[in-house]
Amino acid sequence: MKPQPPQPPRITLVDPDERLGLAVEGSTIFYRRLSLGALAAIERQQARLVPDPRGGRPRAVVPAAALEAAICAQAVVGWQGVCDHQGRPVEFSPARVASLPAGVRSLVTAAARQTLHPSGGDR
């Protein structure tokens, strides 16, 4: 078997000033990817101790919805084309990120966890 030539590097370090766009239903959510350290800190903050029903040591559980909300609070940095329930444009604010629908939070969470920069690592 012939050896394959090395592939160009594709992993890009996370830049705290990163601003990537995620198109969702005609709107754009601007976000940044999160480093492993940031994700680990968020998971620790969201962990809850749950008693063992058999009397053993309590175990840490991270509720999925709480984790997604916390990741979005750190990852979302802006938006365009987001409206309120009456169709009026809503200006971005960090406090309003919690009002994003659950499906949008899931998409942002997946995007923020990516190791590759969406441009293909060329950034």
pLDDT tens per residue, range 91-106 = 999 999 999 999 999 9
Q: Which of 79, 63, 70, 67 is nearest to 24 (CA)?
A: 79
Which positions ≥6 away from 100 have C-beta within 8 Å?
A: 29, 72, 76, 108
Residue 105 and residue 69 in contact, taking contact as beta carbons nearer than 8 Å: yes
Q: Residue 10: pLDDT above 70?
A: no
What pTM did the predictor assign?
0.78
